[in-house]
């Protein structure tokens, strides 16, 4: 009689195809296709690592920009949020602050991002869908009602219309009684990656770069604690770039912004310390940690030796991280919490200055209050329970991490050198170099998924049957109609002559490239000119870019 198998030793049959990735493989690679050995020892160190003792808080900042890092101060916990109306988004912001969030991060709806008021015909169906609609200073006042702007740091993910949204924000701070030097936060203001991967540009690249550098110069002189640009790799990575491409293309864009600012007459150390960066953190834990370490080292060398910056603060790469929206799945959405926690851990081990963790339901819709709270709790558990904040750069000295840091730096530098040979980031964009490279990487990634070379739990491995769909947050249609009506009321009650005169002065200043137009946009904002009205003045002068 055959012996009955022990039930505890039986192999569980998966619900669908089990991946072969758990079996022995001769060749293993990171997500960026860097081949990995099975073991890393002392021989894995490069000469540079062997001959350099790197200290946190000192050039080239591989191990962190501060000597004590999180022992002195934790990263800023931001949860990117905005939906339906300014009123509803304000309620979410105040709720998250009560739950322990330490910084605000504003998501704007699509019409706001591309310069249309909520009542414009092209805005129909998009108002309040992917972010909050802000069509005037009045909306910005409502968005931050009861939130003193000197007491929070605010990050605004806005690019083509960044000068206008910053003007609304500053006008509200002034009305609340605060001086501009009390205001702290960041405007993304990174238009180049819009041409590469995201598409929410309005004006031709040259005119967009003028707006970018005008904002940078204005902040350098008037809003000293504001990060006037956050050079973003996040959206390029979401479009399909590898970690190495994300790093290289982001730093190349940063170089382009600095060169343009210098051409406008700015001095490197007057603005470089207020440049920040925005990276994604994906699932390949060790590659992501190494990417962040390599980024700091590379930027320090670029600033010190390429641009001859003298102030050590100008050498420091400060960055915000967001976990990867593209890795979230609608299937088995609770598993997304596992993914985003790993991604958040990589950002923390890599030394991020601020962090957003995506909610588990974001592949289905805007995050509900409960899922946004859980995402914030993930940060708090990592900060206060895991021990990862107790020591600086805890993976330093790992043979694998140091090897990957070197290799990522070297591979990224090859791409930057190639972009330089093409005439810089803007010329490379016009030749569609970055776009083509990202498209190729995205295609290879999709092929790897379809061939099961890459595994996504719930998609091509361990897919369960019928799943319960979690509650989905939907924009409040009634309040969106109210948002549109508010604009009519605003136009009827504001001082029309003041609006017209401020828009006219802005229009008259645009032909002179030597005139910084930020003060004029601020004047329009304070007169309650709308986003669309200000954008239309710029459209009339600059034209619209068709790619």
Kindly report, residue by residue over 75-108, the tens digit of the pLDDT.
999 888 888 899 999 999 999 999 999 889 999 9
Is the predicted pLDDT of residue 11 greater than 80, yes or no? no
Is the predicted pLDDT of residue 1 greater than 80, yes or no? no
Mean predicted confidence (pLDDT) in 268-280: 97
Can you give the pLDDT at residue 52?
A: 58
Is the predicted pLDDT of residue 457 greater than 60, yes or no? yes
- List, for residues 488-514, the tens digit of each pLDDT value: 999 999 999 999 999 999 999 999 989
Whether residue 401 lies inside any domain: the answer is yes
Can you give the pLDDT at residue 109?
A: 95
Whether residue 221 lies inside any domain: the answer is yes
Can you give the pLDDT at residue 8?
A: 36
Mean predicted confidence (pLDDT) in 45-63: 75
pLDDT, averaged across the chain? 91
Q: How far is CA 513 from CA 14, 208, 523, in A?
A: 64, 12, 19
Tell me, what CATH number does 200's domain have? 3.20.20.240
Is the predicted pLDDT of residue 138 greater than 50, yes or no? yes
Sheet holding 318-323, edge to edge: 226-227, 184-187, 153-157, 103-107, 76-81, 354-356, 318-323, 275-281, 229-232
Is the predicted pLDDT of residue 43 greater than 80, yes or no? no
Q: What is the DSSP annotation of 488-535? A: HHHHHHS-HHHHHHHHHHHHHHTT-TTS--HHHHHHHHHTT--HHHHH
* Nearest CA-CA partner of 83 in 112, 122, 49: 112
Q: How many Cβ atoms from other residues are within 10 Å of residue 391's Cβ?
A: 13
Q: What is the pTM of this model?
A: 0.91
Whether residue 13 lies inside any domain: the answer is no
Strand partners, 132: 108
**Residue 283 confidence class, pLDDT cut points 50, 70, 90:** very high
Label residue 151 exposed, middle or buried (CB < 10 Å: 0-12, 13-18, 19+): exposed
Strand partners, 319: 277
Encoded tokens for 318: 């400060």
* Number of helical H runs and strand E runs in the chain: 21, 11
Is the predicted pLDDT of residue 443 greater than 90, yes or no? yes
Residue 228 belongs to what domain range?
A: 42-384+394-438
Whether residue 10 lies inside any domain: the answer is no
Can you give the pLDDT at residue 47?
A: 45
Based on the structure, what is the number of domains in the chain? Answer: 1
- 208 against 10, higher pLDDT: 208
Q: What is the DSSP annotation of 230-291? A: EEE-HHHHHTT--HHHHHHHHHHHHHHHHHHHHHTT--HHHHGGGEEEEEEE-S-HHHHHHH
- List, for residues 212-251, the tens digit of each pLDDT value: 999 999 999 999 999 999 999 999 999 999 999 999 999 9
Reduced to 3 states (helix: H, G, I; strand: E, B; else coil), residue 187 is strand
Can you give the pLDDT at residue 23?
A: 52
Q: What percent of the chain has pLDDT over 90?
A: 83
Whether residue 285 lies inside any domain: the answer is yes
Is the predicted pLDDT of residue 2 greater than 50, yes or no? no
Is the predicted pLDDT of residue 5 greater than 50, yes or no? no
Whether residue 538 lies inside any domain: the answer is no
Q: Which of 22-26, 51-55, 225-229, 439-443 has the lowest mean pLDDT?
A: 22-26
Whether residue 510 lies inside any domain: the answer is no
């Amino acid at each position: 009689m055959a012996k009955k198998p022990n039930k505890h030793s039986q192999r569980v049959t998966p619900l669908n195809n089990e991946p072969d990735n758990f079996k022995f493989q001769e060749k293993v690679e990171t997500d960026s296709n860097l081949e990995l050995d099975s073991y890393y020892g002392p021989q894995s160190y490069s000469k540079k690592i062997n001959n350099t003792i790197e200290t946190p808080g000192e050039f080239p900042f591989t191990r962190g920009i501060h000597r004590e890092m999180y022992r002195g101060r934790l990263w800023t916990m931001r949860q990117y949020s905005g939906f339906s109306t300014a009123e509803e988004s304000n309620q979410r912001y105040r709720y998250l602050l009560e739950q322990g969030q330490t910084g605000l991060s504003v998501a704007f709806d699509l019409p706001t991002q591309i310069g249309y008021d909520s009542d414009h015909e092209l805005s129909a169906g998009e108002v309040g869908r992917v972010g909050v609609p802000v069509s005037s200073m009045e909306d910005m006042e409502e968005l931050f009602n009861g939130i003193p702007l000197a007491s929070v740091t605010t990050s605004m993910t806005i690019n083509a219309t960044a000068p206008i949204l910053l003007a609304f924000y500053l006008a509200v701070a002034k009305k609340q009684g605060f001086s501009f030097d009390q205001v702290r936060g960041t405007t993304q203001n990174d238009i180049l990656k819009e041409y590469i991967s995201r598409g929410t540009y309005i004006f031709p690249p040259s005119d967009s770069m003028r707006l970018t550098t005008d904002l940078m110069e204005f902040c350098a002189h008037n809003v000293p604690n504001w990060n006037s640009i956050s050079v973003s790799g996040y959206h390029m990575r979401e479009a399909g770039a590898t970690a190495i491409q994300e790093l290289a293309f982001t730093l190349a864009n940063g170089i382009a912004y600095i060169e343009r600012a210098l051409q406008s007459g700015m001095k490197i150390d007057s603005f470089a310390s207020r440049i920040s960066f925005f990276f994604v953190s994906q699932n390949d834990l060790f590659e992501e940690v190494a990417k962040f370490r390599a980024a700091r080292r590379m930027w320090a060398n670029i600033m010190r030796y390429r641009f001859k910056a003298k102030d050590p603060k100008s050498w420091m790469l400060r960055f915000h991280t967001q976990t990867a929206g593209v890795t979230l799945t609608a299937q088995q959405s609770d598993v997304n919490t596992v993914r985003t926690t790993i991604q958040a851990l990589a950002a923390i081990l890599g030394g991020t200055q601020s962090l957003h963790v995506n909610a588990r339901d974001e592949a289905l819709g805007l995050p509900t209050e409960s899922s946004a709270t859980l995402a914030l709790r993930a940060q708090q558990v990592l900060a206060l329970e895991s021990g990862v904040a107790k020591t600086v750069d805890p993976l330093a000295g790992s043979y694998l991490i140091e090897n990957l840091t070197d290799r990522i730096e070297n591979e990224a530098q090859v791409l930057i050198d190639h972009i330089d040979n093409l005439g810089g980031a803007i010329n490379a964009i016009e030749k569609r170099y970055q776009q083509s490279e990202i498209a190729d990487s995205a295609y290879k990634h999709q092929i790897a998924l379809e061939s099961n070379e890459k595994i996504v739990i719930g998609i091509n491995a361990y897919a369960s049957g019928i799943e319960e769909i979690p509650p989905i947050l939907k924009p409040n249609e009634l309040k969106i109609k109210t948002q549109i009506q508010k604009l009519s009321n605003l136009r009827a009650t504001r001082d029309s002559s003041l609006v017209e005169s401020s828009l006219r002065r802005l229009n008259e200043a645009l032909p002179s490239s030597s005139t910084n137009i930020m003060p004029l946009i601020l004047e329009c904002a304070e007169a309650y000119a709308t986003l669309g009205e200000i954008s239309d003045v710029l459209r009339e002068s600059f034209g619209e870019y068709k790619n």
